[in-house]
Structure 1
Amino acid sequence: MTQNNAPRLLLAGTGSGCGKTTVTTAILRALQRRGVTLSAFKCGPDYIDPMFHTAVLGVPSRNLDLFFEDEVGIRSQLARHIRPDGFGVIEGVMGFYDGVSGTTDTASAAHLARATGTPAVLIVRPKGQSLSLAAQIHGFRTFAENTLAGVILNGVSAGMYSFYKQIAEKAGLPVLGFLPPVPEAEIPDRHLGLVTADELSDLREKIDRLADAAEEGIDLHALCALAQTAKPLTDTHMPLARATDFPVRIAVAKDRAFCFYYEDNFDVLRELGAELVPFSPLTDERLPENIDGLYLGGGYPELYEKQLSENEIMRDSIKTAILNGLPTVAECGGFLYLLQSLDGAAMAGVLPTSAHMTHRLQPFGYVTFTANSDNLLCEAGGQFPVHEFHYAQAVDNGTDFRAVKPNGRAWDCGFASDTLYAGFPHLYFRAKTEIAANFVRKCAERSGK
């Protein structure tokens, strides 16, 4: 066990749309320009926000999710991934207290901050408010046990800052600065959230403009001093036992269409003995050579339907490999790619159903999976937590798992065999490392044939 005393902060929000990612990105870049060694994290299961952290820092941002992992495990993650001489920045999720089922603060940003002893700063956008701003902040400060220690005002002009600061301070928390509107640095969004970092050719310029604004409006010295009050962390992580005596090669789809992955999932697979081989279903002609498994993550295949469909050689390569028993995990967007068609565009044709995009969220949120039969990931009756978030609707969602939400709502979904998992729900391997180990073992079994 090792102890880590590195400073850290959690940047929380009053709700979605208050500008958490914008402010977090601005602060990360401003601190980076001052030579601070940074590690970034995202509370909850979001894939897109960590891409912006990664774009700033050049190193992976990691998810911290108390639905998937217990408090000891989360503290270990932080201790392991913040350098002893570094500085950790955690971006919250939704509103500060918004947790599982929407009726508890379990797995919320507030829960994460309490569980890790991390001081939290509340990001508030005071649009259309005056004195009510103080009442809002006071409510967050007093609603439940928390580590709130400051406020940042977002979307406030320099001319109005002193007015809002005076009001906000009536709530009993120090105001640590403001981020003004920076129109030239706005990041567009779409149905699953912000556009991904890789889609913005001028992202570096946008981030630097935000950092300029943070340098002028936010008291970075005060933020750093606040971060020093974070409680020490202990890393109790024990490396996983290898699931194979020899390395296995797992092809991982990584391009603009398939970009939703938990960095920790890659860590788990590597610990278990896998070598990860990236490839692009968009631009490559065939799967990489000499692979023993396939991992198709989520993303935006719906935005690249035509290009994916036109890459017929790749579609045929993947279909042939899977039908010939290549162990495969396909989540959400990866699942859609294995269908007969998506919005009428031909996909890989592995599974006997099709899908189309809708204009509203389908079943989403945290789910507990129970296997209805033996499969690649587990035996019948095996359980593990997953997360679902999508706008696509399949004609047939599969029936190989029983999905149950924390509120009791349940349905069958997912396609599985002894060599395949394919479904809308995303997997988090650290939550149940045995499912990843079973995947790697099956890859090793194939490799040894």
Structure 2
Amino acid sequence: MVTQPRLVVAAAASGQGKTTVSVGLMGALRAQGHAVAPAKCGPDYIDPGYHDLATGRPSRNLDPWLTSPELVAPLFLRGCLHPTPADVAVIEGVMGLFDGRLGADGFASTAHVAALTDSPVLLVVDISSAARTVGALVRGLATHDPAVRVAGVVLNKAGSDRHAAEVRRAVEQQGYPVLGVLPRDAGISAPSRHLGLVPASERHDAQASLDRLAEQTAQHIDIDAVFEIACTAPQLDAEPWAPPVVDRPARRVAVAGGRAFTFHYAETAEMLAAAGCEPVRFDPDTDRELPSGTTGLYLGGGFPEAHLGALATNTPLLTQVRDAVSSGLPTVAECAGLLYLCESLDGRPMAGVLPTRAAMQPRLTLGYRDATLTVDSLLGPAGTTARGHEFHRTRTDPGHGTAAAWHFPSGPEGFALDPARTGRATVHASYLHTHWAGVPRLAAAFADAVHEFAPVADARPVRDTCLVNPRAVDLPPSNDARVQPVDSNAHPGDAPHGDAHHGDDDVRDRPDLVDLAVNVRLPAPPAWLARELADGIPGLGAYPDATAARDAIARRHRVDPSMVLPTAGGAEAFTLIARAIEGRTPLIVEPQFTEPAQALAAAGRTADRLVLRAEHGFVLDPAAVDPAADLVFVGNPTNPTGVLHPRTTTLHALRRRGRVLVIDEAFADAVPGETESCISPDPEQLQSVLVVRSLTKTWGVAGVRAGYVIGDPQLIELLRRQQPHWSVSSPALTVMLATTSDRALRESAQAARDLASAREHLVGALERRGLRPVPGVAPFVLVEVGDGVRAALRHSGFAVRRCDTFAGLSDRWIRVAVRDPHTIDTFLRALDDALALTRSAAAATPEEVPA
């Protein structure tokens, strides 16, 4: 008999807040000093990732169908006692309380697991669309099955205190205590993807978000009462599960991890270790080779389709995996692992082990499966049976002339290959996820195959894993001779040849590159914004009316609507300014975004340029601006330097009678607190001033083109007269309205803080390499790296913004978009190779450098 405080968090249906409450409780209990053992009902992999972060220990999946009803309590106790005893356990449910395997009367449901572990249930109820009816709902759920004991209720998404009080009375009148009420939008939720939540390991802000969630949970839920309920759980009559131990020398098994391979059951590694294997995690995104001495390969599940750029361009590892697996390396690949071994995924090259190609599909494949091995393989003899589940939105082409990995009642599935002609399949690749604790013979067979195999290095030489052969790279000469820096003494019409160049040009011809050239924060708009855009589709037959968007922007910045003009992005804003604002002597403070110069040239106008210098930190001295300049363009923060000019001492000092000051604040919303912005509710502060804003970068809507200008009402009127009718589309207006909401502003502010942290990570890493990135605050970093580095990075699969198209810079400089720390670290490894390569080439004699 084992004493273990515990509870199950359940709900009436999916989407009611189980994960938010479960993870919040785990974090809050841990913050009180408790050791918390997490668990998850069913075969879910993503929620346990958040459990791991919240508790600091691995979460256990409890699934009576994948393992057996008899194993649920032992597996649960394993998690409670390993690696150290836990004070309390929190089990997150799945779907609705009584929803289990279809056609099996609730088998493997949350209620089933609660009964098997004899755990009290904390019921989470979404009350956003009901009031007193919630009392009847709770009573029905609590009395439906005598084996389930509902011990408390948490109300989620309350609309107001009055609403919450009404529901609380209704529930407590039924005899069930309400332990907390979460207001609508109080929870911090993880972003969604096509298969559910985005894994915690892919979110660089995950730990900070979970800390905030724990604090918020403690504010709204009685954590002490929750712990008291957990302590009412009776003793469990079960023994903790332990994997069978085989005493033999350890052999190394490479286990795929990182952002693309996040789906693992905790017991898999434990069973391998007990069977005489040494599981070693490697990251196919970033690691150039398998762990040394690898004698087995386990490729679990995950989201390779979300990280195709990094996976497809890591050719040294893809090549080594292909060679190693072809030599007979025992290899198990489940779902994501199957995709990694394909010839291609969505047209991008993968390892090429399997004679098939994979692609995303609109239809989700989901469900439990009974499976039988079709041939003798590293997992056992033909006829071996197992249970598993599928969960994917990709499909593979049929393999020609290859055996299937499994046979389902519906037909064959997967691939079983014997590339080294050993007499049995050494590659088992399938969409099926199996829980080896439920089928230990699979783990034992795989471990035996690993011990029978010679190490990779002994079996077959691995190809050279150098990313770029220094003798074969055509290093371009310095571009300093081709690009003529322009300074304040240059002829007014002189301009670098690259005014029309954009960061998108750096990746347009190579979609396989990891894109660090374009400064758009998100690859697509967030789900809530995408829904707003989709909801607007039925209204596209009407001509757009910008009035509501203009007024919303005015409220957001606390200015009069007459000071606002919605535009089709910053590009239209600069075009309107070039056409509408007359001036004898336009001047652009450089280096700067190329659009102002391009817009002026298209309007038949020329501009002087004041080029700020690297030796001065690209800092602007207002006294250096020609007093005769009557239309001055300056970025803040400036693209590409990232320098943020002080509002009062620099920008306001540029204002003078007869001059229009245009400030490009395209990246101002990426600066925490939007400090130094020149937008002000005081009209005097914007007299003869125009501030250009873009929504493209923060919200991932480059294809919509949404922005606006705020400034002097008389100047705004001049721009409005130049603007064609309906130039701003209805989707762009939808973006403007949606992104002025309180929710959007909170999300934007948090994104700015996260970005600042990631930028600090990148800058620090560059400085440790002896480089001197320009001090700034923008979502990109400008740094001088030397001749040929950009080209070498391109060979390595990374696109960075070329800088010889900016006045005063050369191709010795690169601008790097700030991404999450994982992507940054991947880039830094490629940068190390590029720096070493170019320095080696520079040190070679002329005869040694290829022509």
TM bucket normalised to smaller: over 0.9
Q: Does the 8 Å CA contact 1:243/1:437 hold for their aligned counterparts?
A: no
Would the alpha carbon gap of residues 154 and 437 (structure 1) be closer, same or farther in structure 2, given more than 3 Å must change? same
| C-alpha separation in 1, matches of 2:242 and 2:225 | 37
Q: Tell me the CA shift for residue 236 of structure 1.
A: 2.8
Task: Compare CA radii of gyration and give the structure with the larger one.
Answer: 2
1:107 aligns with 2:114: no
What is the match of residue 407 of structure 1? none
Cα deviations by residue, 1:58-96 (Å, 9 ceiling, x for unpaired) = 211111111122333221122232145611110001111
| C-alpha separation in 2, matches of 1:235 and 1:447 | 41
2:362 aligns to what SS in structure 1? coil
Would the alpha carbon gap of residues 235 and 272 (structure 1) be closer, same or farther in structure 2, given more than 3 Å must change? farther
1:24 aligns with 2:25: no
Would the alpha carbon gap of residues 319 and 244 (structure 1) be closer, same or farther in structure 2, given more than 3 Å must change? farther
TM-score if structure 2 supplies the norm length? 0.50
Bigger strand share: 1
Aligned 1:294-373 pairs, distance under 5 A:
294-362=297-365, 364-373=366-375
Q: Tell me the CA shift for residue 435 of structure 1.
A: 0.7
Q: Tell me the CA shift for residue 244 of structure 1.
A: 6.2
Q: Tell me the CA shift for residue 184 of structure 1.
A: 7.7
Choose which of 387, 390, 406 in structure 2 pairs with 1:388. Answer: 390
Q: Does the 8 Å CA contact 2:45/2:264 hold for their aligned counterparts?
A: yes
Cα deviations by residue, 1:400-440 (Å, 9 ceiling, x for unpaired) = 42124xxxxx2210212421110101121101101111001
Q: Tell me the CA shift for residue 102 of structure 1.
A: 5.7
Cα deviations by residue, 1:260-303 (Å, 9 ceiling, x for unpaired) = 11111111111111101111111111111111100001101001
| C-alpha separation in 2, matches of 1:401 and 1:337 | 19
1:261 aligns with 2:264: yes
Further displaced range: 383-392 or 69-78: 69-78
Aligned 1:140-289 pairs, distance under 5 A:
140-145=141-146, 146-156=148-158, 159=161, 160-182=163-185, 185-237=188-240, 239-243=242-246, 245-289=248-292
Q: Tell me the CA shift for residue 182 of structure 1.
A: 4.3
What is the match of residue 402 of structure 1? 407
Choose which of 419, 425, 438 in structure 2 pairs with 1:431. Answer: 438
Q: Does the 8 Å CA contact 1:9/1:119 hold for their aligned counterparts?
A: yes
Cα deviations by residue, 1:137-172 (Å, 9 ceiling, x for unpaired) = 222122223222221111225613212211223444
Would the alpha carbon gap of residues 239 and 206 (structure 1) be closer, same or farther in structure 2, given more than 3 Å must change? closer
Which residue identity is paired with 2:436?
F
What is the match of residue 443 of structure 1? 450
Which residue identity is paired with 1:23?
V
Which residue identity is paired with 2:379?
L
| C-alpha separation in 2, matches of 1:85 and 1:306 | 41
Further displaced range: 210-219 or 368-377: 210-219
Gaps of 5+ in 1: 405-409
Q: Tell me the CA shift for residue 235 of structure 1.
A: 4.4
| C-alpha separation in 2, matches of 1:273 and 1:141 | 47
Which residue identity is paired with 1:435?
L
What is the match of residue 89 of structure 1? 90
Which residue identity is paired with 1:133?
V
| C-alpha separation in 2, matches of 1:85 and 1:372 | 42
Q: How many residues align?
A: 441
1:259 aligns to what SS in structure 2? coil
What is the match of residue 655 of structure 2? none
1:33 aligns with 2:31: yes
Further displaced range: 105-114 or 207-216: 207-216
1:73 aligns with 2:60: no
1:360 aligns to what SS in structure 2? strand
Which residue identity is paired with 2:416?
A
1:282 aligns to what SS in structure 2? coil
1:117 aligns with 2:118: yes
Further displaced range: 303-312 or 241-250: 241-250
Would the alpha carbon gap of residues 136 and 375 (structure 1) be closer, same or farther in structure 2, given more than 3 Å must change? same
Q: Does the 8 Å CA contact 2:330/2:450 hold for their aligned counterparts?
A: yes
Which residue identity is paired with 1:69?
T
Cα deviations by residue, 1:320-358 (Å, 9 ceiling, x for unpaired) = 101100000100011001011111111110011111101
| C-alpha separation in 2, matches of 1:236 and 1:175 | 34
Which residue identity is paired with 1:256?
R
C-alpha RMSD over aligned residues: 1.9
Which residue identity is paired with 2:390?
E
- Bigger RCO (CA 8 Å, 6+ sep): 1
What is the match of residue 464 of structure 2? none
Q: Tell me the CA shift for residue 375 of structure 1.
A: 1.4
Which residue identity is paired with 2:292?
E
Q: Tell me the CA shift for residue 243 of structure 1.
A: 4.7
| C-alpha separation in 2, matches of 1:28 and 1:110 | 20
Further displaced range: 318-327 or 228-237: 228-237
Q: Tell me the CA shift for residue 447 of structure 1.
A: 3.6
TM-score if structure 1 supplies the norm length? 0.94
| C-alpha separation in 2, matches of 1:402 and 1:204 | 41
Cα deviations by residue, 1:9-42 (Å, 9 ceiling, x for unpaired) = 1001111111111111111111111111111001
Would the alpha carbon gap of residues 158 and 224 (structure 1) be closer, same or farther in structure 2, given more than 3 Å must change? farther
Which residue identity is paired with 2:3?
N
Would the alpha carbon gap of residues 39 and 314 (structure 1) be closer, same or farther in structure 2, given more than 3 Å must change? same
Would the alpha carbon gap of residues 124 and 167 (structure 1) be closer, same or farther in structure 2, given more than 3 Å must change? same
Further displaced range: 200-209 or 314-323: 200-209
Gaps of 5+ in 2: 418-424, 460-851
What is the match of residue 704 of structure 2? none
| C-alpha separation in 1, matches of 2:178 and 2:241 | 41
Q: Does the 8 Å CA contact 2:59/2:79 hold for their aligned counterparts?
A: no
Q: Does the 8 Å CA contact 1:294/1:326 hold for their aligned counterparts?
A: yes
| C-alpha separation in 1, matches of 2:130 and 2:196 | 26
Q: Does the 8 Å CA contact 1:76/1:233 hold for their aligned counterparts?
A: no
What is the match of residue 426 of structure 2? 419
Choose which of 48, 51, 61 in structure 2 pairs with 1:50. Answer: 48
Cα deviations by residue, 1:367-425 (Å, 9 ceiling, x for unpaired) = 11112221111211110111110011111276342124xxxxx2210212421110101
| C-alpha separation in 2, matches of 1:338 and 1:353 | 9
Q: Does the 8 Å CA contact 1:244/1:444 hold for their aligned counterparts?
A: no
